[in-house]
Amino acid sequence: MYHSMRRSRQQLSEQETIKILENATSGVLALFDADDYTYALPISYVYHGNEIYFHSASSGHKIEAIKYHQKVSFCVVAQDKIVPEKFTTFFKSAIVFGTIEIIEDEAEKRKAIECLSKKYSPHETEERTQQEIDRFWKQLTMLKLNIEKISGKQSIELV
């Protein structure tokens, strides 16, 4: 069940929230592991077509947690300006809720890594990008967050 935002005046529109997801370079992915702990990790990502893609190693804590429990949240902070004289911060952020999966389909996996590559290496040639993808293809794992809910918030001072 998703909660409504208590301070609704601070809620960003869906378009503003998506803009944050499109432009930020990293976020924090929160998972739940088999030891009943939350596991939150900073991670690079790309927002594409109402889904979020991540790359990963093929094993480790993150993969174990995903196999245990697929519901996740993902947070991106677009702005965090400390204003000491006001004892506050001027912030903008986005939070995503949904389910995460390991991409098994080869075509979808390639599409996901190509989107990620374009975001982080936009000036590379298509040929060079494909060479790098092919070089790491066997050990590459791609993850997809299927978005169920997104919400964005900003500090009251920015309203």
Predicted pLDDT of residue 8: 61
pTM exceeding the 0.85 threshold for the entire prediction = yes
Query: Which residues of the chain have a pLDDT value below 50?
Result: none
Predicted pLDDT of residue 75: 97
DSSP structural state of residue 50: T
Tokens 């909660």 locate to 3
Model confidence over 97-120: pLDDT tens digits?
999 999 999 999 999 999 999 999
Q: How do the domains of the chain map onto residue ranges?
A: 8-158
CATH number for the domain formed by residue range(s) 8-158:
2.30.110.10
- Token pair, residue 156, equals 């009251």
Predicted pLDDT of residue 34: 94
